[in-house]
């Protein structure tokens, strides 16, 4: 039996870490990739030998619907092209769960499929919502996957002041893919993956 975290303590610590990321001054970030509606920045992570990425863009939908598509659940698998499976291993109170998910290979399979086991928490933030997560050291492993590790990450979603039917979605991601991959390949893949995430999410919401 795996030892589960104290959900309330972990949730509070995770939320506070994400709010801290959200208050990092603009001049600390460097643009990694920019498209018409989405910008990706990065800065060295304080958690591991890689980058903390920040993504921001406007999505044409309300906060609740957007976060329902992002947080763990059946919606996410339907539209996220990178995710190949998602299982909820444990449910806690207050929108907390432990989930296991797998991702497809990337960059012509230079990055092979990965498995993650994450604690996930969704909570109100200002006029919107924050959905955040962190990987757990889960002993049970499957040999066909490399186990990756998400350092504190999350998505802030708040309505635009002048149009509450549109929302500003800001994400903070710092994923250690582990395995034998050059860090430069990881950084290239991450910026592109985050741009695609916004496009896939917007398409899914338009269909819904």
For residue 178, what pLDDT is reported? 86
Residue range 99-122, pLDDT digits in tens: 999 988 766 666 788 999 999 999
In terms of pLDDT, which residue wins out, 18 or 36? 18
Token pair belonging to 87: 């299982």
Domain positions in the chain: 7-50+60-166+186-206
CA distances for 181 relative to 22, 107, 148, 195, angstroms: 29, 11, 12, 21
For residue 61, what pLDDT is reported? 96
Residue 137 neighbours by CB distance under 10 Å: 10
Token pair belonging to 168: 């500003």
Three-state DSSP class for residue 176: strand
Pair 63, 167: CB distance under 8 Å: yes
Contacts of 44 (CB under 8 A, 6+ apart): 51, 52
| pLDDT beyond 60 at 1 | no
When pLDDT is cut at 50, 70 and 90, the band that residue 208 belongs to is: low
CA torsion sign, 124 to 7 to 53 to 146? negative
Percentage of the chain with pLDDT > 90?
Answer: 66
For residue 138, what pLDDT is reported? 85
Range of 8-12, 19-23, 48-52 with top mean pLDDT = 19-23
The per-residue DSSP string of 12-51 comes to: HHHHHHHHHHHTS-GGG-EEEEE-SSEEEEEEE-SSSSSE
Give CATH for domain 7-50+60-166+186-206.
Answer: 3.30.530.20
> What gap in Å lies between CA 12 and CA 29, rounded to an integer?
25
Q: What are phi and psi of 64, to 5 degrees?
A: -60, -45
Token pair belonging to 124: 């109100």
Pure H helices in 43-149 = 63-70, 74-79
Which stretch of 112-121, 122-131, 141-150 has the lowest confidence by average pLDDT?
A: 141-150
Q: What's the N-to-C CA distance of the chain in angstroms?
A: 39
Model confidence, pTM: 0.93
Strands in 35-150 per DSSP E: 38-44, 51-59, 83-92, 96-103, 114-125, 128-135, 146-147, 149-150
């Amino acid at each position: 039996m795996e030892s589960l975290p104290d959900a309330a303590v972990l949730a509070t610590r995770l939320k506070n870490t994400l709010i801290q990321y959200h208050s990092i001054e603009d001049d600390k970030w460097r643009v990694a990739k920019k498209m018409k509606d989405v910008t990706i920045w990065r800065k060295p992570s304080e958690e591991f030998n890689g980058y903390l990425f920040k993504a921001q863009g406007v999505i044409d939908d309300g906060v609740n619907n957007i976060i329902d598509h992002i947080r763990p659940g059946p919606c996410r698998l339907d539209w996220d092209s990178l995710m190949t499976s998602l299982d909820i291993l444990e449910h806690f109170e207050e929108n907390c769960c432990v989930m296991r998910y797998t991702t497809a290979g990337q960059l012509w399979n230079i990055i092979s499929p990965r498995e993650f086991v994450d604690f996930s928490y969704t909570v109100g933030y200002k006029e919107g919502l924050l959905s955040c997560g962190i990987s757990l050291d889960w002993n049970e492993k499957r040999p066909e996957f490399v186990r990756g590790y998400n350092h504190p990450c999350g998505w802030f979603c708040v309505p635009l002041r002048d149009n509450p039917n549109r929302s500003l979605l800001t994400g903070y991601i710092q994923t250690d893919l582990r395995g034998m991959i050059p860090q430069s390949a990881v950084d290239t893949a991450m910026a592109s993956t985050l741009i695609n995430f916004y496009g896939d999410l917007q398409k899914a919401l338009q269909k819904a």
